[in-house]
């Protein structure tokens, strides 16, 4: 059997694949690279990232994180990514100069590749934040005292209603909390504006059960878009202002977890 040697460097004391040793192969191919000029689109208000057509990671940092950066690295199919260290520089907050120091395993040996590149940050207000700022809403929950309670239009009444409502917000779904956009004080209670009708309905129903209230739903035609009627839905939630919160029973809790 003839001795195999690397056609590039001539070494014969190391394994060769297709005539080339691992060192020479690593020099000749990019084990790690960054494609094109990456852009991260983020909402400066809430930190959400635009991924394709949707917004993700609301509440994330508006600074670049490994979660933004690591997916930008393209690793050679024969190499395994072990670890990345990031250094960030540059004075422009919207064009970040980065250097990735990447540990990869290639043909059984670990190597460190250093890749400098730039990431452009594009600030764009996400859908949720633009809806909020534009006072966009699809549903209103009118929080009122029950009709059996004495008719009252006082700050004390509004404070009690608010307290009742807040007491069950901890149980509200994530989507309901996110959809709650702003609230307005009315003489007889509160109007809560929401950006998602389904979430508003689930929140209103939760209020009905937990606060022993009554609920009435009505829709009003608001406009037309793309040949379809658009409705705004009003949920009138009346709760006894003297009453307390009904705690979920163990059986109900299990049901909701299921």
Which residues are near Zn ion by CB under 5 A? 6, 8-9, 21, 24, 43, 45-46, 48, 126, 129
Which structure tokens are listed for 5?
């040697």
In the complex with Zn ion, which residue's Cβ is closer, 79 or 157? 79
> CB of 137: closest distance to Zn ion in angstroms?
16
Shortest distance, position 127 Cβ to Zn ion, whole Å: 8
CB of 74 to Zn ion, least distance (A): 24
Q: For Zn ion, which is the closer residue by CB, 129 or 204?
A: 129
Sequence-distant (≥ 6) Cβ neighbours of residue 64 within 8 angstroms: 40, 88, 96, 98, 119, 121
Q: Which C-beta is closer to Zn ion: that of 46 or that of 104? A: 46
Q: How far, in Å, CA of 89 to CA of 161, rounded?
A: 51
Q: How far apart are CA 5 and CA 11, in angstroms?
A: 5
DSSP string, 54-81: EEE-TT--SS--HHHHGGGEEE-TTEEE
258/253 Cα distance (integer angstroms):
9
Quick one: 55 or 190, whose CB is closer to Zn ion? 55
Q: For residues 8 and 31, what is the distance between their CA atoms, to the nearest angstrom?
A: 18
Q: What is the CB neighbour count within 10 angstroms for residue 17?
A: 12
CA 164 vs. chain centroid, Å, equals: 29
As measured in angstroms, the least distance from the Cβ of 45 to Zn ion is 4
Q: How many CA atoms lie within 13 A of 202 on its CB side?
A: 16
Closer residue to Zn ion in complex, CB, 4/118: 4
* Phi/psi at 18 (5° precision): 50, 40
Please state the closest distance from residue 184 (CB atom) to Zn ion, in A: 22
Least distance from Zn ion to the Cβ atom of residue 251, Å: 39
> Closer to Zn ion at the Cβ: 61 or 167?
61
């Amino acid at each position: 059997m003839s001795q195999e040697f690397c056609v590039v460097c001539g070494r014969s004391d190391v394994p060769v694949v297709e005539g080339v040793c691992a060192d020479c192969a690593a020099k000749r191919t990019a084990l790690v690279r960054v494609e094109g000029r990456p852009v991260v689109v983020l909402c400066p208000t809430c930190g959400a990232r635009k991924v394709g057509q949707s917004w993700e990671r609301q509440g994330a940092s508006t600074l670049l994180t490994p979660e933004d950066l690591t997916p930008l690295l393209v690793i050679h199919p024969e190499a395994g990514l072990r670890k990345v260290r990031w250094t960030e520089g540059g004075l422009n907050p919207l064009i970040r100069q980065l250097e990735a120091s990447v540990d990869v395993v290639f043909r059984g040996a670990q190597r460190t590749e250093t890749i400098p590149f730039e990431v452009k940050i594009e600030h764009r207000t996400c859908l949720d934040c633009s809806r909020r700022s534009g006072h966009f809403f699809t549903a209103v929950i009118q929080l009122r005292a029950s009709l059996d309670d004495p008719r009252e239009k006082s700050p004390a009444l509004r404070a009690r209603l608010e307290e009742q409502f807040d007491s069950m917000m901890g149980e509200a779904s994530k989507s309901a909390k996110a959809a709650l956009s702003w609230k307005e004080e009315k003489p007889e209670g509160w109007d809560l504006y929401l950006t998602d009708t389904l979430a508003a309905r689930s929140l209103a129903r939760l209020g009905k059960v937990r606060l022993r209230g009554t609920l009435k739903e009505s829709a009003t035609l608001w406009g037309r878009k793309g040949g379809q009627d658009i409705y705004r839905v009003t949920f009138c939630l009346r709760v006894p202002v003297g009453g307390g919160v009904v705690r979920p029973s163990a059986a109900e809790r299990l049901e909701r977890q299921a």
